[in-house]
Amino acid sequence: MRGAVLLPATLVLLTALAACKKDPPPLPDPPKTVKVITVAPVEIAVANQFPGRLAAYRKAEVRARVAGIVTDRLYQEGQEVRAGSALFKIDPAALQATLEMRKAAFRQAQATLDMNADKARRYGALAKADAISRIDYAEALAVEAQAKAQVEEAKAAQRSAALELSYATVRSPIAGRARRALVTEGALVGQDSATPLTTIEQIDPIYVNFSQPAAVVAQMRKAIRAGELQGLAKQDIPVRLTLGDGSLYPTAGKLIFSDLAIDPATETIAMRAVIPNPKHILLPGGYVRVGLEQALNKSAILIPRDALLRTVDSAKVMVVDADNTVRAVAVTADTLHGDRWLVSAGLNGGEKVIVANVAKIEAGAKVTPQEQSGSGAIAKTEAKTETEAAATKVAHVAQIEGR
Tell me the residue type at 34.
V
Instruction: Please tell me the distance from the alpha carbon of residue 120 to that of residue 122, in angstroms, as a whole number.
Output: 5
- The kind and range of the H/E element at 109 are helix 93-128
- 172 or 386: which leads in pLDDT: 172
Identify the CATH number of the domain in which residue 181 sits.
2.40.50.100
Looking at residue 250, which CATH number applies to its domain?
2.40.30.170
Domain that holds residue 380: 36-55+204-400
pLDDT at residue 320 above 50? yes
**Which is higher by pLDDT, 11 or 104?**
104
169-171, strands of its sheet edge to edge: 169-171, 86-90, 68-73, 188-189
Contact assessment for residue 51 and residue 208, using Cβ atoms and an 8 Å cutoff: no
Q: Is 345 exposed, middle or buried (0-12, 13-18, 19+ CB in 10 A)?
A: exposed
Shared domain for 259 and 328, answered yes or no, is: yes
d(CA 381, CA 42): 10
Q: Is the pTM of this model over 0.95?
A: no
Number of structural domains in the chain: 3
Res. 377 pLDDT band, cuts 50 70 90 = very low
Judge if 338 and 248 occupy the same domain: yes
Mean pLDDT over the full length of the chain = 85
- Cα–Cα distances (Å) from 350 to 34, 38, 117, 303, 322, in that order, read 17, 6, 102, 12, 11
7 lies in some domain: no
- Whether the bond into 205 is cis, omega within 30 of 0: yes
Whether 17 is in a domain gets the answer no
CB neighbours of residue 58 within 10 Å: 14
